[in-house]
Amino acid sequence: MKGSAPIQDYLRTDTILALSTPTGGALSLVRGSGPKIFDILSALTGGKQFSPRRATRVELRDPRTEKKIDEAVVTTYLGPRSFTGEDVCEIALHGSPRIAERLIQSAIALGARLALPGEFSFRAVRAGKISLPQAEAIKELVAAESDGALDLALEKWSGTQAREVAETREQLMRLAVLSELGIDFSDQDVDEVSLPRLKKDLAPLIEKINRLADSFERGKKLNQGVPLAIVGRPNVGKSSLFNALLGEDRSIVTDIAGTTRDVVRERLTLRAPGGAVLLRLADTAGIRATQDVVEGLGVERSWQAVSQSDVIVFVVNARDGITAEDRAIFKTLKSRAGATVPVIGVVNQCDQMSNAEASQILSGFLAEFGGMGLVTPIMTSATTGVGVSELAQTVAQHAWVRVARQTGEVLLTQEHHVQACRQALERLNGARDVQDVVLFATDVRHAMADLGPLMGEVVTDDILGRIFSDFCIGK
Ligand SMILES: Nc1nc2c(ncn2[C@@H]2O[C@H](COP(=O)(O)OP(=O)(O)OP(=O)(O)O)[C@@H](O)[C@H]2O)c(=O)[nH]1
Ligand SMILES: [Mg+2]
């Protein structure tokens, strides 16, 4: 469940409670934190005593009605040695949503309040138990839908991003101090702090921050999915292949050319050799010249999807072979798509002819377009399922490459971190132009401050509110 709340709401120090697990599982975990949580727990368990960090089996009853809630296992953490730094309890219940609801209502009657999204993590940051980037990493861990996203979030949790930025800041600090030394000793001959030298040392740092800012593109794709468009003439079977890849009847399929008129998008996790990769598939309107206004707008959107995609699946039809229209589409495709975007060729409806005939079309396809960047043409039948898993594998491999990352390589995943980098870069580019060591030092010091948010420092209330309200409740 997502919500949004102004940051003032998070600044309270009362006792909070929430269901931390999704409904529908065998167990539910209700977590509580705050000054009254142990009193509430005591009231619910008939005055039972708990030793911290030890799982204890209890019977929970609402003290007002004596009505039984559940038999549960409770673990308590005595503040400040807890996630939030406050007194915390975790109550493992049987998985029924009714039980969790009954417990939460009883606890609220005893003085707790339902937690806001991310409020436990907020309190952990407030208590200095975790850093803000770590809180963001928790959010990304929970939301990860690919192995790449999970690995990145785990590394961020262990502080790779904060360390890398700290290192850059230290190098900036060195330049600031050196230029300030230049000020102090300007009447003496200290030639190693000459401005040209400082600017030369600054260049690789600017380069590094630039790379970091640019890494957001990949970071975003890792978390939100690699965009992929399925394109081709009408009626070749794009929607049928889209549905076959998803394993569900998502897009409308008919034998009328021009059935799909808008971009239909769906997320799909596929297994690549390195791990699971998340894709954002787009089924597009068949491309052809048309008098129909609506269809024409759909075709325009198909081209938009092409220019926004990182992988393209170009479908032709085995029955028709490669037509003049296919050739025209492929040409435009190459000019609209990014230069490095792989175009995977697919010859669909191969069930409509003999294997020999279909292979002939396939090799013709490769001979004609292979030199122009078409990769691994695949023969499929969306109807019988032939070739669909091969297509899925090929797609997954190419998508994996688009978001591949070295272990330890930092990719930004938060918009406000990119903005912080851009601001720092503006200052540093300014420093490159100044003719005065004093101004140079000032710009460098400002840039150091600008990078603060990447290490969890100096974040505005507005950004804080956005970070936490985007969490699930109970985290
Ligand atoms: N025999 C056979 N028929 C197929 C295959 N794939 C699709 N079809 C049929 O071809 C027709 C068109 O399929 P769609 O998936 O709607 O084609 P499309 O490319 O999305 O068409 P537009 O949305 O009009 O651009 C439908 O009647 C499908 O059942 C296949 O592999 N074999
Ligand atoms: Mg379609």
- The two structure tokens encoding residue 153: 């979030």
Residue type, 112: A
Instruction: Give the pLDDT confidence of 155-213 residue by residue, as tens digits.
Output: 999 999 999 999 999 999 999 988 888 765 555 555 556 889 899 999 999 999 999 99
Backbone angles phi, psi at 25, to 5 degrees: -95, 180
Report how far ligand 1's centroid is from the alpha carbon of 387 (Å).
15
Dist. CA 312–CA 316, nearest whole Å = 13
Q: Which domains does the chain have, with CATH numbers?
A: 7-131 (3.30.1360.120), 153-221+414-455 (1.20.120.430), 225-403 (3.40.50.300)
Question: Which tokens hold the place of 85?
Answer: 């730094």
* Cβ–Cβ under 8 Å, residues 114 and 108: yes
| Residue 422 CA to its chain's centroid (Å) | 20
pLDDT in tens, 43-92: 999 999 999 999 999 999 999 999 999 999 999 999 999 999 999 999 99
Peptide bond before residue 80 is cis, with ω within 30 degrees of 0: yes
How many residues appear in the chain?
475
Residue 358's pLDDT band (boundaries 50, 70, 90)?
confident
pLDDT (mean) for 318-332: 93
Q: What's the pLDDT tens digit per position in 433-447?
A: 999 888 999 999 999
> In Å, what is the CA distance from 467 to each residue of 4, 155, 230, 473?
10, 19, 34, 13
Give the pLDDT of residue 1.
Answer: 39
How far does residue 402's CA lie from ligand 2's centre (Å)? Answer: 26
Q: Find out whether the beta carbon of 260 lies less than 6 Å from any atom of ligand 1.
A: yes
Cβ–ligand 1 distance for 258 under 6 Å, the answer yes
pLDDT of 2 above 50: no
**Which two tokens mark 219?**
């970071």
Over residues 2-21, mean pLDDT: 83
- Residues whose CB falls within 8 Å of the CB of residue 372, separated by 6 or more in sequence, listed in order: 330, 334
Give me the residue label for tokens 């697990």.
21
**148 touches ligand 1 (CB under 6 Å):** no
**Which range among 295-309, 369-383, 388-402 shows the weakest confidence by mean pLDDT?**
369-383
Crossing angle of the two packed helices 388-403 and 195-224, in degrees rounded to 10: 160
Of the ligands numbered here, which is closest to the C-alpha atom of 235? 1
Instruction: Tell me what the pLDDT averaged over the chain comes to.
Output: 92
